[in-house]
Amino acid sequence: MATGLKWRLAAAPTAGSTRIETGLRPAGSGHREASRPCSSVHTGTLCGEATTNIVTMYRSDTSGGTDGRLVNTGGAMRSIDYDTEQHQDYARGRALTQQQLQVWISAFAEVLPERRPLVGLDVGSGTGRFTPALAGAFGPVTGVEPSVRMREIAQTQPQHPGVRYLAGTAEDMPVPSDSADYALMFLSWHHVQDKVRAAQELTRVLRPGGRLLLRANFSDHHPRPWWLGHFPRGYEVDASLFQPLHEVIEMFTSIGWRVASFGTVTEPSSGTCGDMLERLRLRTLSFFAQLSPDDLEVGFRRLEQAVAADPDAPSPVFAEPLLTLELR
């Protein structure tokens, strides 16, 4: 296993394996994953030069280049109250297959220290999609989640003895200082209202050398799911919810963090295009809350027409960013 600070050169492609490729591609480069059945998801090759550039750029101490003030910037989105919206359908709409879950756990293992156990935080744990699997793979985990309803659903799922769920937010976590070895934020960073405070709180709760696994989208390094383009201004609207990558990195490096790695993970297909359409109809993605009723109607009509041509086709896969930061 590679250490958390290095990416291992991939082996020859094998069917059903994890794809982790490092390196940055500028927005608009046209890169996207080709449509393919989930049985042919391959291990990627490394984009070594690009990766070296981004990691080296931010490994140096950049705090001297600012006046020490952090500013909340980046994407703006309509706030979602999960106690009144989405909680009933979230677990079903965002469910992961066992194969998909294992791909993510393997990707996290690549960027975490090899020692076990590790004490983890699942920040924005929602309905507990990852929390029990994190505990099984790495050690005890605390899921921190502000929504009462989402925590209640998480607690009805099969439990792991190393898991507990607490009320809290990224800005205010009810755990001691220097108490965790890593924190996972899986598609929760864009929900954080005060990102500066959250970065400072993550600095408080993690031990020196702790890792933040930030599975977030970035306005300039944004996945392009196959269905998104069917909605009016779909890519533009979705990208507007997120900060550019450099803003996130600078926010953390200015208070004592460094970039350990940046890469992408391609999870196996979620099933057929017809299956994916049924899940999208549940509207458990933040994107849908940003659209007008007219745009929703137009988008779903276009998507239904496209899927009707071949509903049993495998849902195409795409690469998803994973930024790992290390607390000095």
Compute how many other C-beta atoms are within 10 angstroms of the C-beta atom of residue 275: 16
pTM for this model (two decimals) = 0.81
Backbone angles phi, psi at 292, to 5 degrees: -75, 160
Low-confidence ranges of the chain (pLDDT < 50): 1-68
Direct distance between the N- and C-terminal alpha carbons of the chain, in angstroms, rounded to an integer: 23
Single-letter amino acid code for the residue at 71: V
Compute how many other C-beta atoms are within 10 angstroms of the C-beta atom of residue 39: 10
Measured between alpha carbons, how far is 265 from 213 in angstroms, rounded to an integer? 13
Give the DSSP letter of residue 38: G
| CB contact at 8 A, 117 and 141 | no
Dig out the tokens for 254 from the structure: 């200015």
Q: pLDDT for 12-54, tens place per residue?
A: 223 233 443 444 333 333 333 333 322 222 222 223 333 444 4
- How far is CA 57 from each of CA 19, 49, 52, 54, 293, rounded to the nearest angstrom? 25, 12, 8, 5, 43
Give the DSSP letter of residue 282: T
pLDDT of residue 76: 55
Domains of the chain: 75-327 (3.40.50.150)
pLDDT of residue 60: 36
Instruction: Label each residue of 200-221 as H, E or C.
Output: HHHHHHEEEEEEEEEECCECCE
